[in-house]
């Protein structure tokens, strides 16, 4: 997880071949108190600039030149292969579960969000802050599609309706406090639900794994 200094703003690099969208993302992030340290048009340019820039997170499109297929995810995988735990938020025009599963398979500090969330400043800023801090974020539309795939014998079937709601918000990057506010619950009640979720999903304490991330991956069908 990236160690964030308390005396400076979060620093983010942006990559998208659409200049107007890059400018829109930069404006939203800057108004949210985040410093944009680089803005480029391709995944290769992003990888190059990350080597020279002390960024805490990167926001990049999934489909970019030259093939407009999965360049953003490939860049994420290359970042992780070189041992960089930089927060990475992938943006897409479409709610594609397969892409989301691949993104979340890269581990903690990653996120998958629809581009339309750029028009929701608080959502975008919170997502960037979450991945920079080592958390995971999945767009609610993608979560909804993945939940529909759940089989009757899936461990998720053990969860109550309230626990499922808590887990879906965890997947969207909400903290326990944020979940409490969203569901109008007490913080201790949310903490109880989270403990119950981890127990029902058979996620034991382990120094090698982040149980909250593993719970989200279970929701995404990747555990």
201 within 8 A of 215, measured Cβ to Cβ: yes
pLDDT averages per 10-residue partition of the chain, 223 residues: 66 96 95 96 95 93 93 95 93 87 88 91 95 92 73 73 92 92 95 92 70 82 56
**What domains can be seen in the chain, in order of their start residue?**
11-140 (3.40.50.2300), 150-219 (1.10.10.10)
CA-to-CA distance for 47 and 35, rounded, in angstroms?
A: 18
88 within 8 A of 111, measured Cβ to Cβ: yes
Residues 24-82: pLDDT tens digits?
Answer: 999 999 999 999 999 999 999 999 999 888 899 999 999 999 999 899 999 999 999 98
CA-to-CA distance for 5 and 143, rounded, in angstroms?
A: 32
Predicted local confidence at residue 220, as pLDDT:
76
- Enter the pTM of the model: 0.70
> Rounded to the nearest 5°, which phi and psi values hold at 87?
-70, 135
Up-side HSE of residue 145: CA atoms within 13 Å toward CB?
12
Predicted local confidence at residue 1, as pLDDT:
46
Q: In 10 A of CB 121, how many CB atoms? A: 14
């Amino acid at each position: 997880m990236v160690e964030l200094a308390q005396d400076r703003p979060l620093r983010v690099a942006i990559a998208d071949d659409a200049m107007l969208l890059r400018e829109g993302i930069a404006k939203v992030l800057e108004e949210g108190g985040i410093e944009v340290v680089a803005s480029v048009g391709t995944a290769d340019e992003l990888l190059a600039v990350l080597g020279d820039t002390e960024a805490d997170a990167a926001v990049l499109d999934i489909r970019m030149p030259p093939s407009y297929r999965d360049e953003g995810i490939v860049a994420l995988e290359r970042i992780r292969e070189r041992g960089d735990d930089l927060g990475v938020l992938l943006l897409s025009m479409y709610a594609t579960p397969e892409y989301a599963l691949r993104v979340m398979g890269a581990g903690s500090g990653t996120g998958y969000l629809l581009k339309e969330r750029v028009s929701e400043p608080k959502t975008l800023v919170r997502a960037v802050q979450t991945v920079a801090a080592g958390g995971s974020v999945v767009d609610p539309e993608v979560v909804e599609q993945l939940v529909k795939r759940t089989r009757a014998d899936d461990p998720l079937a053990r969860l109550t309706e309230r626990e499922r709601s808590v887990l879906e918000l965890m997947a969207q990057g909400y903290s326990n406090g944020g979940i409490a506010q969203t569901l109008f619950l007490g913080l201790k009640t949310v903490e109880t639900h989270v403990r119950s979720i981890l127990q029902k999903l058979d996620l034991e304490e382990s120094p090698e794994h982040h149980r909250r991330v593993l719970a989200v991956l279970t929701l995404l069908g990747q555990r």
